[in-house]
Amino acid sequence: MLELREVSTRYGPITMLRRVSLTLEDGKVACLLGPNGAGKTTLIRAILGIVRPVEGSIWLDGRRIDQLRTHQIVARGIGVVPEGRRVFPKMTVEENLRMGAFIEWAPADFAARRDHVFALFPRLAERRRQRAATMSGGEQAMLAMGRALMSRPRLLLLDEPSLGLAPVLVEQLFAMVQASNGSGTTVFLVEQNARKTLEIAHHGFLLQKGEIVGRGTAAELAASEIVRHAYLRA
């Protein structure tokens, strides 16, 4: 589905990604693990065209996308939940969802998409007229994911979605990710919470200092010495 081929990026003289190659499988949950500063968010930005590779290429469904503008990439079927969720605080739940349906929007189509999101996340339906600023962190995470799903993406990118959430809300968040995947959406989950991530992922990658240093099924990563030592110690 999505493929990065030997992708390198730089911020000025600093190399952030070094010849990164990975492939996401259609209909699966893939994860990207790594510490702060490893380049995880930079990789998401490269996929979205916000950061341009200085080497390599990025392909979606056999078509090169790294030379396209961000809105053109999103229009090909990619949704994103950015780090920090970034909902529109003064808007209601329904208004936030409307902002996610900006591609080929039509009133009847919006209603169908909104109802699909409400079916996945009934709490949003209950709070449809509530302002986002008054919602809990977990509810805002739910809203950010629902907003991303309004464009009916084939691929959903999530950048550190559990950051700052209480443990009980983290459980709810990962259940939401599984629900999204169960409805047919391919998921690329960028996380530091390796334990929970590997419980729901099908396969994944380990990024350190801008380089892929491990890859495999979730079970293979969980059993690897580097992941067990750095991320899974009690």
Q: What is the CATH number of the domain that holds 94?
A: 3.40.50.300
147 touches 99 (CB < 8 A):
yes
pLDDT (0 to 100) of residue 98? 87
Residue recorded with tokens 């909104």: 114
Domain count for the chain? 1
Measured distance CA(96)–CA(144) in Å, rounded: 8
C-alpha to C-alpha distances, 64 to 16, 32, 70, 213, nearest whole angstrom: 21, 22, 13, 25
pLDDT band with cut points at 50, 70 and 90 for residue 52: very high
Give me 211's structure tokens: 């380089």
pLDDT digits (tens, 9 = 90+) for 171-189: 888 988 998 898 889 999 9
pLDDT band with cut points at 50, 70 and 90 for residue 2: very high
Range of the domain at 92: 2-231
Report the percent of the chain where pLDDT is more than 90.
57
Greatest C-alpha distance within the chain: 52
pLDDT at 231 over 90: no
pLDDT at 57 over 80: yes
pLDDT digits (tens, 9 = 90+) for 104-143: 555 567 888 889 889 888 989 999 999 999 998 888 888 9
139 touches 170 (CB < 8 A):
no
For the chain, the average pLDDT equals 90
Measured distance CA(116)–CA(223) in Å, rounded: 37
Q: What's the 3-state SS for the chain?
A: CEEEEEEEEEECCEEEEEEEEEEECCCCEEEEECCCCCCHHHHHHHHCCCCCCCEEEEEECCEECCCCCHHHHHHCCEEEECCCCCCCCCCEHHHHHHHCCCCCCCHHHHHHHHHHHHHHCHHHHHCCCCEHHHCCHHHHHHHHHHHHHCCCCCEEEEECCCCCCCHHHHHHHHHHHHHHHHCCCEEEEEECCHHHHHHHCCEEEEEECCEEEEEEEHHHHHHCHHHHHHHCCC
Going by their DSSP bridges, the two strands 155-159 and 78-81 should be labelled as parallel
How many residues comprise the chain?
Answer: 234
Residue 175: phi and psi, rounded to 5, are -65, -35
Nearest CA-CA partner of 207 in 21, 70, 53: 21
Q: What is the pTM of this model?
A: 0.88
